[in-house]
């Protein structure tokens, strides 16, 4: 199973060259991650939030322009003891062409202890549904 998040490119996300600025891609990835977590946990409560972004990368493969319709596909590529990886290809909704590839590592974190913790079994089971 994968999670898909639609994105419509806004004018303010473009730059002087007329295409989407590289920084905007990270916003698209973040928005899709949040939507993924909403589906995964059914709630986003900052009081019980246990996830931190440890690493993020984006490879830019094609130019994207104002008002273009995109889709961020979020899937789990690895589940470790205390962290997991997300792959987030960004595709043009009309053509299906890949325009960027995002990769991130998320750590399960105890903010009181200020250290990573093992991912609980119920979270592992939920994540496993999105492994491809």
Name the pLDDT band for 44 (thresholds 50, 70, 90). Answer: low
The predicted-structure confidence for 90-130, as pLDDT tens digits, reads as follows 999 999 999 999 999 999 999 999 999 999 998 999 999 99
Most confident of 11-20, 39-48, 91-100: 91-100
Mean pLDDT value of segment 22-51 = 87
Full set of structural domains in the chain with CATH: 3-129 (3.10.129.10)
pTM above 0.95, yes or no: no
What span, in angstroms and rounded, lies between the C-alpha atoms of 90 and 23? 14
Residues 6+ apart with CB under 8 A from 65: 9, 14, 18, 19, 20
User: Mean pLDDT over residues 81-98, rounded?
Assistant: 98
């Amino acid at each position: 199973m994968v999670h898909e998040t639609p994105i419509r490119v806004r004018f303010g996300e473009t730059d002087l060259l007329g295409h989407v600025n590289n920084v905007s891609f990270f916003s698209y990835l973040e928005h899709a991650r949040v939507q993924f977590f909403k589906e995964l946990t059914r709630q986003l409560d900052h009081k019980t939030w246990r996830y931190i972004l440890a690493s993020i990368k984006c490879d830019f493969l094609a130019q994207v322009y104002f008002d273009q319709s995109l889709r961020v596909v979020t899937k789990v590529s690895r589940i470790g003891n205390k962290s997991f990886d997300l792959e987030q290809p960004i595709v043009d909704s009309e053509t299906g062409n890949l325009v960027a590839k995002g990769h991130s590592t998320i750590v399960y974190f105890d903010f009181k202890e200020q250290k990573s913790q093992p991912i609980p079994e119920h979270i592992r089971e939920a994540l496993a549904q999105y492994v491809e």
